[in-house]
Copies of this chain bind each other. A is one copy, B any other.
Amino acid sequence: MTQDITQLSDARVFGGRLLRLRHESATLGCAMTFALFLPPQVEATAGTTVPVLYWLSGLTCTDENFCQKAGAFRLAAELGIAIVAPDTSPRGDGVPGDPDGAWDFGLGAGFYVDATEQPWAAHYRMHDYVTRELPELVEAAYPVNDRRSISGHSMGGHGALVCALRHPGRYKSVSAFAPIVNPAAVPWGEKALGRYLGPDRARWAEWDACALIATATERLPILIDQGDRDSFLEAQLKPQNLVAAADAVGHPVTLRMQPGYDHSYYFIASFIDDHLRHHAAALLG
């Protein structure tokens, strides 16, 4: 084990274990809590390691929302896939939040970028954290291996797409629920990228899935589910922008518009099994 990890809780669920864990993140400069679901297969046979799905949550969430509400552990236990759910930003004393106390920037809203502007750059490095530090930690300390997939919701869907597009070979598969696909062109993204990265929009392109997909060297198929009664769909999410950018370069993307569904975890729960099977085909194939 490369770092000290404190186990906050250990709950049995669907024959597996859900651990809540806390460690000092060197990347973020603060203590971070994350969730790790281990399927029953790692207990059944000593020495077994399992592949792992990284789940990136949306604005205002912590590690707990997905664990409590997505209903993912039933099928993950059956398939033999671990799940890691990090927090959505650095937290704690000394970590600055939104100056106005808003919920769409700062605490709970790290946007999975590596900030370059102060005062954010000292802590807000969630991209490096979720793509490098956290996998290194988990793979060293727990029976999970380096077969990784990534998914997420809303801001976390943006995060999942950007992580996969920026790191060819690091993930076996990628998917997203109601992702912010084009942050450089929507209010949530303009606010966050403008502060974390500064006003030069040219630098935002490195963190925008619609821009990144144009030059991606790996054509990992993307699965997206999107509710058509999602109140953020038209102003903030714009999935058709990603479809257009992907089509222009022949990147495979499947956008499923789900009639009647909103932006909530009830929507995620309704389709999480399809995403787990999408990832299982790549992780276990």
Residues on A lying within 8 angstroms of B by beta carbon are: 11-15, 18, 68-69, 71, 73-74, 227, 229, 260-262, 264-267, 269-270, 273
- Which residue, A12, A71, A73, A264, has most C-beta atoms of chain B within 10 A? A12
Give me 12 other A-B pairs in contact (C-beta within 8 A), A12-B262, A71-B269 excluded: A11-B264, A11-B267, A12-B227, A12-B266, A12-B267, A13-B266, A13-B267, A68-B68, A68-B69, A71-B74, A73-B266, A74-B273
Copies of this chain in its oligomeric complex:
2
Q: Is the CB of A68 within 8 A of B260?
A: no
Q: Is the CB of A15 within 8 A of B265?
A: no
The prevalent SS among residues of A at the interface is: mixed
Q: Is the CB of A15 within 8 A of B73?
A: no
Residues in B with CB closer than 8 Å to A261 are: 12
CA–CA, A270 and B40, complex, Å: 13
Closest Cβ of chain B to A177, distance in Å, is: 14
A-B residue pairs in contact (CB < 8 Å), sample of 23: A11-B262, A11-B264, A11-B267, A12-B227, A12-B229, A12-B261, A12-B262, A12-B266, A12-B267, A12-B270, A13-B267, A13-B269, A13-B270, A14-B269, A15-B270, A18-B266, A68-B68, A68-B69, A68-B265, A71-B71, A71-B74, A71-B269, A73-B266
CA–CA, A71 and B227, complex, Å: 19
CA–CA, A103 and B14, complex, Å: 29
CA–CA, A227 and B15, complex, Å: 12
Q: Is the CB of B12 within 8 A of A260?
A: yes
Pick the 9 closest A-B CB pairs, nearest first.
A13-B266, A71-B71, A12-B260, A11-B266, A14-B270, A12-B261, A68-B69, A13-B270, A11-B262
Across the two chains, which residue of chain B brings its CB closest to A270?
A: B14
CA–CA, A77 and B73, complex, Å: 19
